[in-house]
Amino acid sequence: MKSKVKTEQGTVLITGASTGIGYATAIYLDQMGYKVFACIRKEADKKKLQENSSDRLETIILDVTDNQSIMEAVAHIESDSGQLKGLVNNAGIGLGGALELTPQAEIEKVINVNIVGLLSVTKAFLPMLRESKGRIINIGSTASYLPGPGASVYSGTKFAVRAITDSLRVELHHFGIKAILVSPGATESAIWNKGESYRKELRSTCETELSNLYKALIQFGDSLYKDMKRTPAVEVAKSIHKALSLTKPKRYYIVGKDAKGAKKATRFPKSFLENIILKKIKKFDN
């Protein structure tokens, strides 16, 4: 039996709404009749959102790593309506690289945004979500099911997001709050351009001798990046809409062929999967 879509649309806050999944979700939910608070970090990101949405959509400056910024966002929504039906924790950093080549500052930045920021925002908005019996939608990743080499930091944070979601689902059940994980694969987003720039900068500053030790891994990663087919961000937005609106939503939404394939691959023994990857890396070891 199919779940029914709720007729009542509510207020939703989306972090990281300036580009990619966050932007697509803000526009899509606005079209579906939600009152959307689209969180951005820079004033310059307002224009595109406002030009492509209704007057209902409102932008808020929010840095998930800044507690003062978070509390100001809470105060703003409390003064506007005091209601929040859904929180979409989308803000995240997707930078990767071999651990030894990754600057310590970048490691801490990814952890602070992807884990600490998500927890801080969720905690701050829990009173409103408890009042509305709302939904928490956390954006995961294929990497939370099938981590690859050169992605230990990022994959670690996305495994954490999955664990946090599972824990909160039970912890908040008696309040009527549902916690749901939406895990997309490679998705069309400006994040890929940022990732490309990051890789070029990292290689230009890394010691040649150290970089050469990881040459095969780097070339393997480049080949994956080049051949990757990306799912339109609006497809992820549609899954987020289901997670928010269905009476009986799934616990997990896997979006994209690559993500679904990665989830299925987890059925195989780790040794089998690791040997496949190692053989592919070895082809570049010359």
Active-site residue set: 154
Name the 3-class secondary structure at 136: strand
Laid out side by side, the sheet with 252-255 consists of 58-61, 35-40, 11-14, 86-89, 135-139, 178-184, 252-255
Rounded to the nearest 5°, which phi and psi values hold at 37? -105, 105
Q: What is the DSSP track for 142-205? A: GGGTS--TT-HHHHHHHHHHHHHHHHHHHHTGGGT-EEEEEEE-SB-STHHHHHHHHHHHHHHH
Determine how β-strand 86-89 pairs with β-strand 11-14: parallel
Counting every residue, how long is the chain?
286
Which of helix, strand or coil describes residue 16? coil
- Cα 125 from chain centre: 18
User: Which one-letter amino acid corresponds to residue 93?
Assistant: I
End-to-end CA distance of the chain: 56
Instruction: Please state the φ and ψ torsions of residue 98, each to the nearest 5 degrees.
Output: -55, 140
In angstroms, the CA 249 to CA 54 distance is 27
Identify whether the C-beta of residue 52 lies closer than 8 Å to the C-beta of residue 102.
Answer: no
